[in-house]
Amino acid sequence: MNYVLRFLLTLCLIFSLFLSGCQKHSSPSPLKRTEFILGTTVTLALYDTQDESLLDVAFERIKELEDILSMNKAGTLIDEVNAHAGDHPQVVDEKTFRLIEKGLYYGELTEGAFDITIGPLVELWHIGFEDARVPEPSEIKDTLPLIDYRKVKLDAAASTVFLPTSGMCLDLGGIAKGYVADEIAELLKEKGVQNAIINLGGNVYALGEKGEGIPFTVGVQNPFDPRGAIIGKLQLTNQSAVTSGIYERYLEVNGHKYHHLLNPQTGYPFENELAGVTIISKASIDGDALSTSVFALGLEKGLAFVNKLEDVEAIFITKDKEVIVSSHLLSSFTLTDLTFSLVPLD
C-alpha cells in the first residue's frame, strides 16, 4: 500500500512540474485596451509587457495628437490654421509642420488625387454626420476653387502655415491616423515594447512579432460590410495595413450611395470599379495617404502606381468581388471569404 501511495504522490509531483513548465513557456495574453478617440475605435495590444502604465502613456499621447490635428474639434492647432485662412500665417510645432509638408508631398506625387485642402468639400457633404446631404451643383462649383494643395504656403524657417484664401481649410483626416500610428509605434519602442498591435479604426500597425518567428495576422476588411468583417488574412511584421473603401462612411439618397472618398477635381465621390484598397507599407503615414490615392486612381492605374513605389504593396477589391493582390503579397495573403475570387495578375 505504501508503494502505491508513493507512486501516486510521485505521479502527482511529475504532473504538477509538467504544468508549471508549460505555464513558463506559454505566451501570456496581450495587455489590451480600447477607447474611442480620433473619431474611431482605437485598440492597443502589447505582447511583451503587462505594464498598464505604458497604455496610459500611449493613449494620453493619442489624445494630445487629436487636440493638435483634428478639424472637428474647436481650438486644435489645425483649427487655428483654418481660422486664419486669408488673414495671416499660423505658427505650428515642428512635427505638425512636417506632417503638413508630407501631405503636400502626396498631393504632388498623386497629381492632386490626394489633397489636404479638401476640407471645404468635406464640410459641404459632411458624410458620416447627422446633417450629411448631397450638395447642390452650384455649391460644389463655388467650393472647388478653395481646394488646391499648391496654394498652401509653408515657411520652414518660421515654422508657419498659411492658407492664402479665406474659406480654405486643411483636413488631415486622410493622413493623420497613419501619422499617429507611427508616433505610437516609436513611443512604445522607446519604452522597451518590441511586439504590439496598434489599431486606429482600421489603420493597423504590427510592431514586431506575435511570437518568436511568428508574424501577426490581421484581417483585410470586406468593403461591402461594416468594419470588422473580413475577406482574408494577411501576415505582417513591422508593417502597416491601411484600408480605404466604400464601407467606411456613406450617404444614401434615393437608393444611391455616396461614399466619403471625394474627388478634389469634381467635388463628388470617386467613381470607378473599386470597392476597397488596402495598402501595406513600412510607415503607416504612407499607407494612409496612399490608400486614398490608389483608390482614386482605380485598378489599372492604381496597380501601376504601386508597382513604382518601394516597400509598398496593395490589395484591390472590385465591386464585382474580385481580389487582386500585388505580387510580393501572394505568399502572406490568404483569402477566407469564398464569395470573393482571387484573380491572378496578368
Task: Tell me the per-residue pLDDT of 67-105, one tens digit each, with 9 for 90 and over.
Answer: 888 877 778 899 999 999 999 999 999 999 999 999 999
How far apart CA 151 and CA 145 sit, in angstroms, is: 11
Residue 94 exposed, middle or buried by CB count within 10 Å (0-12, 13-18, 19+): exposed
What pLDDT sits at residue 44?
A: 97
Between residues 145 and 256, the one the model is more confident about? 145
The yes-or-no verdict on residue 214 having pLDDT over 60 is yes
Mention the CATH class of domain 72-172: mainly alpha
Between residues 328 and 278, the one the model is more confident about? 278
The length of the chain is 346
Contacts of 125 (CB under 8 A, 6+ apart): 132, 133, 134, 135, 251, 258, 260, 262
How far apart CA 272 and CA 317 sit, in angstroms, is: 12
Note the pTM of the prediction, 2 decimals: 0.86
Lookup: cell for 294: 490608389
How far apart CA 282 and CA 311 sit, in angstroms, is: 7
The yes-or-no verdict on residue 22 having pLDDT over 80 is no
What pLDDT sits at residue 73?
A: 74
Indicate left, alpha or beta for 228 from its phi (over 0: left) and psi (-120 to 50: alpha): left
What pLDDT sits at residue 341?
A: 95
Confidence of residue 247 (pLDDT cuts 50, 70, 90): low
What pLDDT sits at residue 3?
A: 38
pLDDT mean across residues, the chain: 87
Which of 246, 227, 265, 212 has the alpha carbon at shortest distance from 317? 246
How far apart CA 329 and CA 114 sit, in angstroms, is: 25
Between residues 257 and 173, the one the model is more confident about? 173
CATH fold for the domain made of 215-342: T-fold (3.10.520)
Instruction: For the chain, give every domain's residue range.
Output: 72-172, 215-342
How far apart CA 272 and CA 259 sit, in angstroms, is: 12
Task: Tell me the per-residue pLDDT of 300-325, one tens digit each, with 9 for 90 and over.
Answer: 999 999 999 999 999 999 999 999 99
The yes-or-no verdict on residue 273 having pLDDT over 80 is yes
Percentage of residues of the chain with pLDDT beyond 90: 66
